[in-house]
């Protein structure tokens, strides 16, 4: 019971109590984070952005050729 209370107290402090809200914008916050980030975090952020960009590009290619793909699948009797 005591451990449960400590857990609930920790969750309340973490998520319900207001944190020190600064007046800085998103870009200033990101620049400050980037300056302090470790090498792995920077590589992870770059990789994530690259993956999202590639996914968007692939989605655009798929969306532009979906009619041709549907025709091809119907001609081959796939569905």
DSSP 4-53: HHHHHHHHHHHHTSPP---S--HHHHHHHHHHH--HHHHHHHHHHHHHHH
In a domain, 70, yes or no: yes
Mean pLDDT across the stretch 10-17? 84
In a domain, 47, yes or no: yes
In a domain, 28, yes or no: no
In a domain, 58, yes or no: yes
Question: How many domains in the chain?
Answer: 1
Provide the domain limits for residue 53.
Answer: 39-79
Among 12-21, 48-57, 66-75, top mean pLDDT goes to 48-57
In a domain, 53, yes or no: yes
Q: Is 64 helix (H, G, I), strand (E, B) or coil?
A: helix
pTM, 2 dp = 0.57
Q: What is the pLDDT of residue 24?
A: 77
């Amino acid at each position: 019971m005591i451990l449960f209370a400590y857990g609930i107290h920790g969750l309340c402090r973490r998520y319900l109590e207001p944190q020190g809200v600064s007046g800085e914008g998103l870009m200033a916050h990101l620049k400050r984070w980037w300056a302090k980030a470790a090498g792995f975090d920077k590589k992870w952020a770059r990789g994530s952005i690259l993956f999202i960009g590639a996914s968007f590009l692939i989605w655009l290619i798929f969306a532009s050729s979906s009619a041709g793909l549907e025709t091809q699948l119907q001609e081959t009797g796939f569905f």
